């Protein structure tokens, strides 16, 4: 990635990264648009998460300590109380000023928060947690054209960006991903390849720590994408509106695509994780935080009504309960 420069624009950064023909692949584009040290969406000092008009999206982390309480109950169910007491809870990718576990520190040996851009160093005994971290990683785009899979890129012309076909795959990872894809139903079928998410997960699990990994996000299996998403799953978010113009205002809008749960499960299993599975958020909490949920819903205390309303939003299939999934495993 380019060295930070407050005097450059994101377009200058993209031009410097482009080939002599003025082209970059989507992996490079999304990397800069999301994570450039100065101009990247996730590195800028702005409000991103919440329900206000000046934010872009709303997540389970917006529920604050309640979400943290449910996660603590769930990881205790997965590992046991004594193991949690010996482990560091590591939250990766937390937004600035976001503290989910302020009231849960006594249940762990320590709590460590890694913000965007900080080194991913995991202590020997850890519970590694993230919320919507994987879908915020760089991705590539593939399209089925003239009987074969091709890689899409971005043409950079001053302050104008346009989508284009690349002459070849940018690297062996994209090429191998394309080779794993079957022939789709028709021409121009698009598949978004969240290879940045897979690289990040490999970086985490290749470190020699033991404990649990619990990642909340949204995604599909590769088969589901090939069956149901002919235009791909990549989307842009700004001011709580979703749209398909991925090249508009780079660095000023969120870019995301669905992660591929089956491929991520394979990474965990290859790294010797056991009991690997992906659950809907509602099912995960109902299975692993049952007592905490029952206590809240059964309490006669009227002062808890606001927290109960948040709980219903986290669990109800029409809200977060079905939209989000949880990848988890232990080692």
* Per-residue pLDDT, 116: 82
Q: What is the DSSP letter of 306?
A: H
- For every residue of 19-39, DSSP letters joined together read -TTSEEEHHHHHHHHHH-TTT
Please report the pLDDT score of residue 6 as a whole number.
46
CA distances, 40 to each of 4, 58, 70, 239, 249 (Å): 10, 19, 31, 17, 11
pLDDT in tens, 239-248: 768 899 999 9
Beta strands 210-217 and 125-131 are parallel
pLDDT of residue 45: 77
pLDDT digits (tens, 9 = 90+) for 114-136: 988 889 999 999 999 999 999 99
Residues 6+ apart with CB under 8 A from 278: 219, 261, 264, 265, 325, 326, 327, 328
CB contact at 8 A, 27 and 195: yes
207 C-beta neighbours (distance < 10 Å), count:
14
Decide: residue 318, CB within 10 A, 0-12 exposed, 13-18 middle, 19+ buried: exposed
Q: Are 254 and 41 in contact (CB under 8 A)?
A: yes
For range 29-40, the mean pLDDT: 95
CA–CA dist 93, 87 (Å, integer): 19
pLDDT at 187: 92
d(C-alpha 238, C-alpha 56), whole Å: 5
Least confident of 168-177, 186-195, 277-286, 298-307: 298-307
Average pLDDT over residues 59-83: 90
Q: Each residue of 254-312: pLDDT tens digit?
A: 999 999 999 999 999 999 999 999 999 999 999 999 999 999 888 888 878 888 888 88
Residues linked to residue 278 through DSSP beta bridges, in sequence order:
327
Mean pLDDT of the chain: 91
User: Is 148 a residue whose pLDDT tops 50?
Assistant: yes
Q: Using CA atoms, how far apart are residues 49 and 47, in angstroms rounded to an integer?
A: 6
The yes-or-no verdict on residue 2 having pLDDT over 60 is no
CATH class of the domain at 60-136+199-218+259-330? alpha beta
Percent of the chain with pLDDT over 90: 73
Residues 6+ apart with CB under 8 A from 93: 114, 115, 116, 130, 131, 132, 133, 136
The DSSP 8-state label assigned to residue 11 in this structure reads H
The segment(s) of the chain belonging to CATH 3.40.50.12710 are 60-136+199-218+259-330
């Amino acid at each position: 990635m380019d060295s930070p420069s407050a005097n450059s624009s994101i377009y200058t950064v993209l031009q410097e990264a482009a080939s002599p023909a003025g082209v970059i692949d989507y992996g490079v584009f999304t990397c800069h648009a999301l994570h450039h040290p100065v101009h990247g969406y996730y590195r800028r000092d702005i409000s991103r998460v919440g329900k206000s008009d000046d934010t872009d999206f709303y997540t389970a982390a917006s529920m604050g300590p309640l979400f943290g309480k449910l996660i603590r109950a769930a990881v205790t169910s997965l590992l046991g109380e004594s193991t949690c007491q010996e482990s560091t809870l590591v939250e990766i990718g937390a937004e600035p000023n976001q503290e989910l576990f302020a009231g849960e520190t006594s249940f762990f040996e320590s709590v460590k928060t890694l913000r965007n851009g900080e080194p991913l160093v995991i202590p020997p005994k850890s519970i590694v947690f993230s919320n919507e971290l994987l879908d915020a990683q760089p991705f590539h785009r593939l399209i089925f054209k003239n009987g074969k899979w091709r890689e899409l890129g971005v043409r950079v012309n001053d302050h104008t960006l346009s989508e284009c076909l690349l002459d070849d795959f940018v690297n062996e990872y994209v090429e191998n991903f394309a080779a794993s894809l079957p022939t789709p139903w028709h021409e121009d079928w698009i598949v978004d390849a969240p290879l940045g998410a897979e690289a990040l997960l490999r970086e985490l699990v290749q470190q020699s720590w033991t404990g649990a990994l619990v990642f909340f996000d949204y995604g599909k299996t590769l088969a589901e994408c090939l069956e149901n998403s002919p235009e791909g799953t990549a989307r842009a978010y700004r001011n709580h509106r979703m749209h398909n113009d991925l090249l508009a205002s780079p660095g000023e809008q969120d870019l995301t695509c669905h992660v591929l749960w089956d491929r991520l499960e394979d990474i965990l299993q290859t790294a010797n994780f056991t009991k690997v599975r992906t659950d809907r958020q509602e099912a995960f909490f109902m299975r692993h935080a049952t007592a905490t949920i029952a206590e809240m819903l059964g309490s006669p205390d009227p002062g808890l009504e606001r927290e109960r309303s948040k709980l219903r939003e986290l669990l109800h299939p029409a809200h977060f309960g079905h939209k989000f999934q949880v990848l988890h495993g232990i080692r």
